[in-house]
Chains A and B, each alone.
Chain A
Amino acid sequence: MLNISTPNMADFDIETVLSAIAAGEPAAETSLVRQYSRGLLLMLTQRCGDVELAADIHQDTFMVVLTRLRKQPLDNPKQVKAFIHTTAVNLFINHYRKEKRRNTWGDDDAVDAAVDPMPDQVTRLEKKDTAELVHTVINELPGNRDRKILWLYFIDELEKPGICAQLDLSTEHFDRVLYRAKQRLRQKLEFQMRDFR
């Protein structure tokens, strides 16, 4: 079963991994993808606001990165994170410059297999599932005002002082509601992850 957590950084020696990628070892490519996959997908989801598009750009990013690393090692292996990030940001920008972005990087099945985001990473962010999770959490909130706090903060993007003034509540109350809601969501996500395993 897939382990969706990001592997421990201490166990990940980037120089060894990059050397192995250059030597053509598929396991090293998988290791690199696993190390950065989840963070990259979250980052792209935040930028795109669309999980499916984020998954596509995620895949393209690793295709570009792995193709390049196979052929030409980085001058400084410690720059691999910045290389992945820069590639992803530029692909994201290019997506909005061009209508057709997919299948640009050739049909390399080996790369293709290595770079797919793990299915549950995508599922956990899909609208329907997240709506159900959030729905159960907001129903646990004691009153309409607490729900309104979440709406004003996450969707209307008002700042804490403005929300506190508008709803006539203390910053402590605001912090408490936000903290508890996020804690419950986190618990439910962890629970969902255990179920998946």
Chain B
Amino acid sequence: MSRNLKDDDGAAMKAIVYNNEYSLEMALADVDAYVRGKLESSKHNSFELFLLNHPQLQDEVETALVARVGLMALGKQQVLSGIESDGTGSKQPSFIQRWFGNIQPIPAFATAAILVLTITVGSVMFKPEASPLLAQLQTPSGQYQTVTLPNVRAGLSGDFQPLAILDKNSSGGWMMLELELSYPEFDRYNIEIISWSDKNQLVALNSLQPDAKDNLVFALHTSELPIGDYVARVVYDSGTKVELIANYAFSVEAGKGNSS
């Protein structure tokens, strides 16, 4: 069967226009723009035509692509902090540290929360990982109710409009929250979970670092949050001044106990 340039529906494939005035020298000068997605559309296809079989151009593109993919895989935190690593992750903040930060629950919940977090996290949830990258990328989803709170911020007054509803009866009793930050300005943040009804602070988490996706990720046990409405208040503490970054509203309800 002859197969011409047609897709599965038999439609003709889109013809591509090439710029005949575009030269190899121009392509070599445009490598970074191409890899960074900044190359003008009028040059793009002609660049790729040279790329198909020109070894020098391939070397240059490969190097820039490796730089970009590698930087992205490492994540901003690791690149900018310049953390030394021998590949074992020994000097890298552990996944657990990254995930939980330094949790300091308010006294009413302190003992239970610390014990539950430490014992469960240490003995049940995780296997030790040799690679810091694997540790960074590891996502223990599936065992938890994971909720992402988008970058739509709330106030502490007016109508309560939750961004998400968490299930108090989720399996395992754990809730993992991801707070989206649009562009983290700081290395570390503190989070306070505040009851909407009486504005009491129930949980405080200190020194959380944004992950590679610029999210603040942390876990809470359902025993820490009764059914009700809450605001996760993200602040930056410089030591001399506390700056409010964002509030994220969410509710805890008694659901059917399915993890999401």
Contact = CB atoms under 8 A, between A and B. Distances in A.
Contact-residue bracket for chain B: 35 or more
Interface in A1-53: 5-6, 9, 12, 35-36, 38-40, 42-43, 45-46, 51
A134 B66 contact: yes
B67 A90 contact: no
Nearest to B131: A128
A189 B63 contact: yes
Interface in B44-73: 45, 48-49, 51-55, 57-59, 61-73
A68 B3 contact: yes
Nearest to A138: B79
A169 interface: no
Given A64-B3, A133-B66, A144-B80, A157 B51 contact: no
Given A90-B5, A131-B70, A134-B70, A124 B53 contact: no
19 contacts: A45-B65, A64-B3, A82-B16, A82-B18, A83-B5, A90-B14, A124-B66, A125-B65, A128-B133, A131-B74, A134-B66, A151-B71, A155-B71, A157-B36, A157-B38, A185-B67, A186-B63, A189-B63, A189-B66
B5 A155 contact: no
Nearest to A126: B69
A85 B13 contact: no
A141 B82 CA distance: 9
The main secondary structure of chain A at its interface with chain B is helix
A72 B78 CA distance: 53
A133 B87 CA distance: 11
A71 B64 CA distance: 38
A157 B74 CA distance: 17
Interface string B223-245: 00000000000000000000000
A164 interface: no
A134 B45 contact: no
Nearest to B48: A43
Question: Most chain-B Cβ atoms within 10 A of its Cβ — which of A45, A64, A134?
Answer: A134
A43 B3 CA distance: 23
Given A35-B53, A85-B45, A42 B15 contact: no
Contact of B52 (A85, A94, A155): A85
Contact of A42 (B5, B37, B58): B58
